[in-house]
């Protein structure tokens, strides 16, 4: 996947839940329900509530985002305290039991008929539900979250007593031949886990206490429910992806290990985690041949990505103007941030030439153009992506292009790669394979972390890394390496969104290929394809959060979210006869008579 650094898209999403009982309202509710016969309707009351609510929350949310930018992009240490204060203020608004009871009453009345109002009501309901727990616990959760974030931000790895930048560690793991130095780099990278482990465990326990106060078994389950996801469906999909990828992974891992063993003069069973090119083993080892990294080594990713998105009709100009993509010593993290839900969207990254950073910037720009092309006429509460997984699907769809020979050839004005497309395809599938197996490690680990934070977490970590990645635990290794993954503290219960996003991206691509009359998604020529850009803009971006995520998926991908297309694209041998979900051609033709689905004409270049 070409992920040099952990990335996360920071945007404030307020989710909702449905189906609560009506309760008696306190007399001083923020917006009173008029009891007189001739009083305002439920929709009028909800409209008044939303107007006052947004007047309070929107300025605070914007200030929070600006403080986050100052803390991470500009290195302003005082901004960390401001972040804690602002988030606590926002949470205090959602702690109001009187407002929550009002929303319950309006929802139970069944009198809110407007689709846009009903969706906003659902989003508000869930935001208030999550903040129903003890206020002191909520404040401590916020404080701890930012304490851990700052430790990550300020942490500096050390090798032989000298500080070393994170990017230098990645460079060493990609190119250093001295095994002792490789091990030192690997251990220096994971030292941040030991630095945050105690506070992270305290944070996990507090989150669990909050969840149990609200009636959930643990925080992991609570977050799934509050983001309109089904824990049982997640478990089934994880099992299916593990099974589908198992044979391909064992074959690929054997070949990778054989090559590394020859290079280091070791037996395959003697390989340790630091012999691999990535500390999480989510990237392919460096290899010869026409790989994307070398082909794009002399290209400016900012210019390349900007030109590509302009060609799609998804103007990235305002995003690039506001972003900070310069290389600065000590900078950490990569993210896309929607500051105000009114067009101020920016990216933070230290972009360097090469295929990996081109893929990273394509990923982040995917998030960005989603935000900037949400219908600006939507209410503030709905001017956000339908769901984090949908945003990850958009980002993942674009990131894939950095490893696709058709896209590289078109962007570089080349005819092709002289019959080497098979090698590209093999590398593309292997790259995704390693990414999937790493995701399985993280998702299973985090689920178990919240189920029982007092278990042997280091033992669990290495058990899962052996199961899904075939990695051996170094003898005597007892450090809290698991805590080095920043998502556990800063983006909890989101790692499965990367997998869901890849599944959805594959469904979109099969849908597009079918509409273009192509045999497979890799035949889609994205460069200069304004029709494809319009499809994304109108069918996926514009609705924002006005639709539940599963409804948006059905409308845009031709069916419910399902791993079948993803498996068919990346692990074809595991399901050779399986067809991707969605309507048949006859059904699609019948549907097109009654819909506004964009029909994409076949392009010629």
pLDDT digits (tens, 9 = 90+) for 66-83: 999 999 999 899 999 999
Rounded mean pLDDT of 98-102? 95
Residue-level pLDDT at 133: 92
Report the DSSP pairing between strands 335-338 and 162-164: unpaired
Residue-level pLDDT at 9: 37
Rounded mean pLDDT of 546-574? 93
CA dihedral 89, 95, 97, 102 (to 10 degrees): 70
Residue-level pLDDT at 34: 41
Rounded mean pLDDT of 405-410? 89
CA distances from 232 to 29, 493, 563 (A): 37, 15, 15
Residue-level pLDDT at 289: 52
- What gap in Å lies between CA 525 and CA 512, rounded to an integer? 11
CA 182 to chain centre: 30
What confidence tens digit (pLDDT) does each residue in 129-152 have? Answer: 989 999 999 999 999 999 999 999
Cβ-based neighbours of 199, under 8 Å, separated by 6 or more: 144, 147, 148, 151
* CA-based nearest residue to 1, from 353, 443, 411, 403: 403
What confidence tens digit (pLDDT) does each residue in 433-474 have? Answer: 999 999 999 999 999 999 999 999 999 999 999 999 999 999
Cβ-based neighbours of 108, under 8 Å, separated by 6 or more: 20, 21, 22
Neighbours of 371 (CB within 10 A): 26
What confidence tens digit (pLDDT) does each residue in 174-202 have? Answer: 889 999 999 999 999 999 999 999 999 99
* CA-based nearest residue to 522, from 513, 535, 531: 513
Going 84 to 386 to 7 to 435, the CA torsion angle's sign is positive
pLDDT over 90 (residue 6): no
More confident residue, 520 or 587: 520
The answer to whether 550 and 500 are in contact (CB under 8 A) is: no
- What gap in Å lies between CA 4 and CA 10, rounded to an integer? 18
Backbone angles phi, psi at 346, to 5 degrees: -145, 160
pLDDT tier at 297, thresholds 50, 70, 90: confident
pLDDT over 70 (residue 234): yes
- What gap in Å lies between CA 212 and CA 202, rounded to an integer? 15
pLDDT over 60 (residue 520): yes
What confidence tens digit (pLDDT) does each residue in 483-511 have? Answer: 999 999 999 999 999 999 999 999 999 99
pLDDT over 70 (residue 348): yes
333: left (phi over 0), alpha (psi -120 to 50) or beta: left
More confident residue, 581 or 462: 462
Span of 5-19, 181-195, 267-281, 570-584 with lowest mean pLDDT: 5-19
* DSSP symbols for 537-588: IIIIITTTTSS-HHHHHHHHHSSS--SHHHHHHH-GGGSTTPPPSS--HHHH
- What gap in Å lies between CA 402 and CA 433, rounded to an integer? 16
Residue-level pLDDT at 580: 47
**pTM, rounded to two decimals:** 0.87
């Amino acid at each position: 996947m070409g992920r040099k650094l952990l990335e996360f898209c920071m945007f404030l999403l307020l989710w909702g839940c449905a189906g609560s009982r009506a309760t008696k309202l306190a007399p001083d509710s923020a917006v009173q329900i008029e009891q007189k016969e001739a009083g305002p309707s439920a929709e009028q009351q909800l409209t008044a509530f939303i107007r006052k609510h947004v007047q309070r929350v929107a300025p605070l949310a914007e200030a929070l985002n600006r403080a986050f930018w100052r803390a991470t992009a500009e290195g302003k240490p005082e901004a960390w305290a401001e972040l804690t204060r602002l988030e606590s203020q926002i949470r205090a608004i959602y702690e109001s039991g009187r407002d929550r009871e009002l929303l319950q009453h309006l929802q139970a009345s069944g009198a809110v008929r407007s689709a846009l109002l009903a969706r906003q009501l659902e989003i508000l309901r869930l935001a208030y539900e999550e903040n129903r727990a003890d206020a002191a616990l909520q404040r401590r959760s916020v404080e701890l979250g930012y304490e851990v974030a700052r430790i990550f931000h300020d942490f500096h790895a050390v090798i032989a007593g000298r500080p070393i930048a994170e990017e230098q560690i990645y460079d060493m793991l990609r190119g250093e031949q001295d095994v002792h130095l490789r091990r030192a780099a690997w251990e220096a990278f994971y030292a941040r886990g030991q630095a945050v482990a105690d506070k992270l465990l305290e944070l996990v326990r507090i989150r669990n206490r909050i969840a149990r106060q609200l009636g959930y078994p643990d925080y992991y389950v609570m977050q799934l429910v509050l983001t309109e996801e089904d824990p049982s469906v997640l478990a089934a999909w994880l099992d299916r992806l593990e099974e589908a990828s198992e044979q391909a992974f064992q074959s690929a891992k054997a070949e990778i290990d054989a090559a590394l063993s020859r290079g280091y003069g070791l037996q395959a069973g003697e390989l340790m985690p630091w012999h691999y090119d990535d500390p999480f083993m989510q990237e392919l080892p460096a290899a010869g041949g026409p790989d994307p990294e070398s082909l794009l080594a002399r290209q400016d990713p900012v210019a390349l990505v900007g030109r590509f998105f302009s060609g799609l009709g998804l103007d990235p100009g305002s995003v690039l103007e506001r972003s900070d993509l310069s290389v600065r010593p000590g900078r950490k993290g990569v993210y896309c941030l929607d500051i105000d839900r009114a067009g101020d969207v920016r990216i933070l990254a230290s972009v360097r030439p090469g295929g990996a950073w081109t893929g990273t910037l394509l990923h982040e720009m995917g998030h960005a153009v989603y935000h900037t092309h949400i219908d600006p006429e939507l209410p503030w509460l709905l001017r956000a992506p339908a769901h984090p997984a949908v945003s990850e699907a958009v980002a993942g769809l674009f990131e894939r292009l950095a490893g696709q020979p058709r896209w590289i050839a078109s962007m570089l004005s080349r005819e092709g790669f002289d019959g080497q497309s098979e090698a590209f395809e093999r590398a593309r599938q292997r790259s995704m394979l390693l990414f999937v197996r790493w995701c399985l490690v993280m998702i299973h680990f985090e689920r178990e972390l919240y189920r029982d934070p007092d278990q042997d977490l280091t033992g669990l970590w290495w058990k899962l890394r052996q199961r899904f990645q075939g990695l051996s635990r170094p003898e005597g290794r007892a450090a809290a390496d698991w805590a080095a993954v920043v998502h556990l503290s800063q983006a909890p219960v989101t790692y499965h969104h990367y997998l869901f996003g890849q599944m959805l991206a594959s469904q979109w691509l099969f849908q597009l290929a079918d509409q273009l009359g192509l045999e497979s998604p890799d035949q889609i020529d994205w460069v200069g394809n304004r029709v494809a850009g319009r499809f994304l803009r109108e069918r996926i971006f514009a609705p924002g959060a006005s639709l539940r995520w599963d409804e948006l998926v059905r409308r845009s991908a031709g069916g419910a979210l399902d791993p079948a297309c993803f498996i068919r694209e990346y692990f074809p041998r595991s399901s050779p006869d399986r067809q991707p979900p969605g309507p048949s051609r006859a059904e699609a033709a019948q549907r097109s008579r009654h819909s506004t689905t964009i029909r994409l004409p076949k392009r010629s270049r």
